[in-house]
Structure 1
Amino acid sequence: MSQFGKASSKRGKPTYAYAIIGVSLVLFLFGIVGWFFLNLRKTADYFKENIQVQCFLNRDATPKKIDSLKTYVTALPYVKSAEYVTKEMAIKKFEADNDTTWRQFIKSNPLPESIDFHVAADHVQSDSLKAISATIEAAFPGMVAEYKFPDEIVSKVGGFAKMMFIVVLVAAIILTILVIFSIDNTIRLAMYSNRFLIKTMQMVGATRWFIAKPINIRAVINGLIASGIAIALVWGVMILVESFRPEFKVLRDNKSLILLFLGIIFLGITITLVSTHRAVIKYLRMKLDDLY
């Protein structure tokens, strides 16, 4: 008789293992898509910030003015790095990409000095770069002979980045909706198997809060466990991919990853808690005959 009571009590206890596994897998999928989105954005930023902008200087520019211009450009908040390229450095860069047969016809160095710099990804747009040019020209009038950047490449990279951002954003929104519904259905199925336990507690006089409180607490714990499993899986996939493709390490943004992992935890806890509470309230409001 005592064995029967133990067996029935075990069957009456809520089983959360399958729910935790199901939620973990859904959150893992969400995390992988989020990681892909971060890599895509970082890749676009990487290409943008490698686009070089050149300020070719007038031949009568003095070393003092050149130094002042370089200091000014470097201090601009949207400039990532700046370099003063002398005539000798310019000719070496040119010869690294081209042959040296020109020396047979031209004895002197025809290349001008320049200030070469790279700007932050958010400012790699034709309008922004032209505005930077106007700012430099206003601060040092008549010192820059020509302001040059690959306008066509800037436009193509910017257009591609915008298109991919929109595509991934739409996919992320759709996936988020699917994640919410998937987790909600998983939790509701888990609670369905315990509907008689919930109703029995109500029938013996337990209040709604008394019944819901421990189940809600358990839901938060389950959400944390599922989120932890999902984060561990995402991190494992990241390390595995980076071990085969080391270039992915360059794209890793730890701050964005922390935000992604916090998002997974928030999503896991919130949806699990809300879905569990809704299911408990639903079964408390139902009549006993409707549970069959």
Structure 2
Amino acid sequence: MTQFGKSSSAKRSKPSYAYAIIGVALILFLFGIVGWMSLNLKKWGEVLKEQLQVNAYILPSATQKQKDSVFQFVTSLPYVRNAEYITKDKAIASYNLENDSSWKKMIDYNPLPESVSFFLNSNYVNKDSLDNLRNLLLTNYGHVISEFQDPQKTIQNVGSFVKYATIFVFIFAVIGTIIVIVSIDNTIRLAMYSNRFIIKTMQMVGATRGFISRPLNVKAVINGTIAALIAIVAMIAFMLFAESVVPWLKQLRDVTNLAIVVAGMLILGITISWVSTHRAVIKYLKIKLDDLY
């Protein structure tokens, strides 16, 4: 009779493990997507800041030597990513691409000034750094530069959005992590429920707690690893698909952030699977035989 119960339980445990692996993988996949979005939110803010253009407009009376001096000074700054000298012809050509050319009917000359246009590293795209840069340029080249233009309002809006979005996503990620841990724990405990008679039978024939729990813990680590690997592959596939649909998402790809998310998924899958399995084994070892039914 014991052998029949053991065989029946063993048969039921196999699909339970499969379902547990799939369930844990799905939960870890959702966790990975949230983690990927959370870490990339900061990266997205940095990319957005580095696309904001800063302009130093040149006085019409400036000599070529003075123009070259300003351009060389700007390009020598360590926090300037790239710079370009915009001539009057380039300025008007760029304007015509974004606007109509009806201005030619009213004036017959090019009213746009020459300028040095450049982009900064994201760490320097803030009010204080831009004010310092403005003072630096105007102090050294006030007789050459007519105006220093930077998107202060846009920078403030981007900074505020990223700040509040980061707080929101962080809170959501914390809540999501708690849900993930509870969900995995319940999934593993449900899978272990089908093994309760096997565990109790081994205890009744004299097996020690360590002898009983060791193979189940090893199985839990293996299952947790398999579930995590499935979730990681699915998450990377989702990322590649998202990048193919929305090409600018490729700019947010960060190997370090991806490694953090992958490591978190792997550690979480293995740890929670092992802890939940061990707790379930101890529970069924302590419970009375009649209470198993």
Shorter-normalised TM-score: what interval? 0.7 to 0.9
Please give the residue correspondences for 1:1-292 in structure 2 after superposition, counting only pairs within 5 Å: 4=4, 7-8=7-8, 10-11=10-11, 15-38=16-39, 40-59=41-60, 63=64, 66-100=67-101, 102=103, 109-137=110-138, 143-292=144-293
Distance 1:207 1:57, change over 3 A: farther
> What is the CA distance between 1:12 and its match in structure 2?
7.8
Report the 3-state secondary structure (helix = DSSP H, G, I; strand = E; otherwise coil) of the residue aligned with 1:82. strand
Q: Which moved more, 1:14-23 or 1:195-204?
A: 195-204
> What is the CA distance between 1:143 and its match in structure 2?
4.8
- Give the Cα separation in 2 of the matches to 1:140 and 1:212: 76
CA displacement, residues 9-34 of structure 1 (integer Å, 9 cap, x when unaligned): 73486641111111011111112223
- Give the Cα separation in 1 of the matches to 2:141 and 2:98: 31
- Give the Cα separation in 2 of the matches to 1:78 and 1:216: 53
Contact 2:134–2:148 at 8 Å: present in 1 too?
yes
Distance 1:63 1:289, change over 3 A: farther
Contact 2:24–2:227 at 8 Å: present in 1 too?
yes
Mind listing any 5+ residue stretches in structure 2 that lack a counterpart?
Answer: none
Q: Which moved more, 1:248-257 or 1:264-273?
A: 248-257
> What is the CA distance between 1:208 and its match in structure 2?
2.7
Contact 2:13–2:191 at 8 Å: present in 1 too?
no
Report the 3-state secondary structure (helix = DSSP H, G, I; strand = E; otherwise coil) of the residue aligned with 1:16. helix
Normalised TM-score (structure 1) = 0.82
- Give the Cα separation in 2 of the matches to 1:232 and 1:134: 51
Distance 1:75 1:181, change over 3 A: farther
> What is the CA distance between 1:83 and its match in structure 2?
1.6
Contact 1:12–1:197 at 8 Å: present in 2 too?
no
Distance 1:10 1:64, change over 3 A: same
> What is the CA distance between 1:35 and its match in structure 2?
3.4
Report the 3-state secondary structure (helix = DSSP H, G, I; strand = E; otherwise coil) of the residue aligned with 2:83. strand
Distance 1:288 1:4, change over 3 A: closer
- Give the Cα separation in 2 of the matches to 1:177 and 1:83: 50
For residue 219 of structure 1, what is the amino acid of its counterpart? A
CA displacement, residues 198-240 of structure 1 (integer Å, 9 cap, x when unaligned): 2333333333333222222211111111111112222333333
- Give the Cα separation in 1 of the matches to 2:9 and 2:99: 82
Q: Which moved more, 1:185-194 or 1:134-143?
A: 134-143
Report the 3-state secondary structure (helix = DSSP H, G, I; strand = E; otherwise coil) of the residue aligned with 2:238. helix
> What is the CA distance between 1:75 and its match in structure 2?
4.5
For residue 174 of structure 1, what is the amino acid of its counterpart? I
Q: Would you say how many aligned residue pairs link Structure 1 and Structure 2?
A: 291
- Give the Cα separation in 1 of the matches to 2:78 and 2:191: 54
Distance 1:5 1:47, change over 3 A: closer
Normalised TM-score (structure 2) = 0.82
- Give the Cα separation in 1 of the matches to 2:6 and 2:217: 25
For residue 7 of structure 2, what is the amino acid of its counterpart? A
> What is the CA distance between 1:138 and its match in structure 2?
5.7
Distance 1:209 1:90, change over 3 A: same
How much is the aligned-residue C-alpha RMSD, in angstroms? Answer: 3.2
> What is the CA distance between 1:176 and its match in structure 2?
1.0
- Give the Cα separation in 2 of the matches to 1:126 and 1:107: 38
